[in-house]
Amino acid sequence: MPIRSATIHGELASVIRVLSKIRDLVGPGRVDEFATGTNGVERSRPNVGMYRTRRSFGVIRPATVDQVCRIVEYFDDPDLPIGLHIVSTGRNWGLGSAEPARDRTVTLDLSDLDEIRRLDIDAGFAIVEPGVTQGRLAASLAGTDRMLNVTASSAHTSIIGNGLDRGVGLRQQRVDDLLGLEVVLPDGQLVHVGWWPEEGRRTPLYPYGLGPSLLQLFVQSDLGVVSAAAVRLLHRPKAQRVIRLGFAPRNLISAVGALRRWVAQGLVGGVLKIYDTVSAASYGGSAGGFLAHLCIDGTERSVAAISSLILEEAVSSGLFTDATPAGREAGGDAVVAMVEGAYSGDPSYNDGMLEATLGQPAARVDEHGLGWLFFLPLVPFSGEDIARAHGLLAQVHEETGVRAGCTVNALNADVIDFVVTVKFAREERAAERAHRALDRAYELFSATGFMPYRLDIDHADWVDRLSPDPGARELVRRLKKTLDPNGAIARGRYS
């Protein structure tokens, strides 16, 4: 025990020293130090998932990229055994919010770096910093020929934070929006990877570069701090219509078959979504059975033609109920309002759905209201596989008493992002049951081959067992050792 407390004291002294230098660098009000008073490492910070609060030494909120470089340099020190945990807006609700995966870190909160540095509507890109929210960028594109691929989460979430965690928007997976990244490497050097605009000449938006493509090294990664991103702005369709198709659970396999055929033939734009009854109710909507949302977009005439073709086929198949073309009022249904707005790049209904879901606005979700967990496996796009995945949720329900909801997001004609949600009362026993259900979902889905593509902070240690080749994991560790020998950046959820 004396050795342990001596170690904590040694660590504490070195962290206090570096935080004091950083306070001089960034100025007053930008460093919260939890190191004094207690043994320096405990603090109670609620998060909506009720994940265990990690032991932390403090939070730094830099105001400039130059400060970020200097801060990272301070942490690139062999005598400082503490690394930085990075957040953009820290609203990774359901996966741990702003909480790090590991104990004993200092959080680098980049939400005050919130400049839209450049907006090029003609070329189709924006350069944004980590604190730029999807709501702000989307609003600045209103009335233009371009739009942002927005998610269903709050308008107050970060474009960079979500993209770096491979989040999913209504148009495509957010990582596909990333054209280039400005990265502070663990030694403090600033580099641009992928595509980046050049002064004085116009270059095509091509993220892969020449040679090994470096952009993906910094996605779900602890190899660098992303201080800005070049983000793709999508062409705004001339016309858009959302078709809603309900179907009964007994028709799941055949209905998914029909939906997949339309996606595979290129008739559906964006990410097709299917809510089950539990998830629709969780998000403040209403659906008896399953409800699919299909976005049809293009020119006025192509949208009219494709919509009537799909509606005709849907009716004649006899599989669907409630075949509803666009234009019908949301009628207070939070999910319908959100989906219809978000397909067109407008996240202004998202916060209504968030409040209907969790009973709180974005700023209070982590402190008050209901508890919430996400489990995010990928499932092959087939009726049989989706039915199998629902069967696994039924087993989780049977074993734990927790009934999870599920939303299907079709990433393409072959891959489903099968979003599992668990909503619970915010008290110890309900949280314990919800987490037991989450653990069980990890076990059952991964044993079936339905691997999660994003991890929560409690399952960071699953990354090895979820990866097909241990040699590839070893390569990641070699890269970490080479690029960050002093652990300036703390090991994250994926290492």
Ligand X SMILES: Cc1cc2nc3c(=O)[nH]c(=O)nc-3n(C[C@H](O)[C@H](O)[C@H](O)COP(=O)(O)OP(=O)(O)OC[C@H]3O[C@@H](n4cnc5c(N)ncnc54)[C@H](O)[C@@H]3O)c2cc1C
Angle at 440 between CA 353 and CA 99, to 5 degrees: 55
Q: Which two structure tokens, joined as six digits, stand for 178?
A: 């990333």
Distance between alpha carbon 85 and the CA centroid of its chain, in Å? 16
**Site size with ligand X, rule: CB under 6 A:** 29
Q: Which span sits near ligand X by CB under 6 A: 83-91, 317-325, 383-391, 395-403?
A: 83-91
DSSP assignment string, 441-456? HHHHHHHHT--BSS--
Residue 323 contacts by C-beta under 8 Å, 6 or more apart in sequence? 243, 244, 245, 246, 311, 314, 315
Q: Which two structure tokens, joined as six digits, stand for 63?
A: 């105001």
Q: Which is it for strands 105-109 and 56-60: parallel, antiparallel or unpaired?
A: parallel
Name the residue with the smallest CB distance to ligand X: 161
59 binds ligand X (CB under 6 A): no
Binding to ligand X in span 191-230, by CB under 6 A:
225-226
Q: Torsions phi, psi of 454, nearest 5?
A: -140, 145
Q: Which span sits near ligand X by CB under 6 A: 37-45, 52-60, 155-163, 288-296?
A: 155-163
Among 152, 263, 278, 314, binds ligand X (CB under 6 A): 152
Among 83, 90, 186, 197, binds ligand X (CB under 6 A): 90
Among 67, 105, 149, 151, binds ligand X (CB under 6 A): 151
Q: Which is nearer to ligand X, 114 or 322 (CB)?
A: 114
Q: What is the Cα–Cα distance from 70 to 338, expressed in whole angstroms?
A: 41
Q: What is the Cα–Cα distance from 273 to 286, expressed in whole angstroms?
A: 15
Among 91, 102, 241, 293, binds ligand X (CB under 6 A): 91
407 binds ligand X (CB under 6 A): no
Binding to ligand X in span 247-276, by CB under 6 A:
none
Binding to ligand X in span 92-131, by CB under 6 A:
92-94, 110, 130
Tell me how many helices (H) and strands (E) the chain has: 13, 19
492 binds ligand X (CB under 6 A): yes
Binding to ligand X in span 358-377, by CB under 6 A:
372
Q: Which is nearer to ligand X, 349 or 450 (CB)?
A: 349
Q: What is the Cα–Cα distance from 361 to 366, expressed in whole angstroms?
A: 10
Q: How far apart are the first and last CA of the chain?
A: 29
Q: Which is nearer to ligand X, 89 or 307 (CB)?
A: 89
- List of residues contacting ligand X (CB under 6 A): 86-94, 110, 130, 151-153, 157-158, 160-162, 164-165, 167-168, 225-226, 354, 357, 372, 492
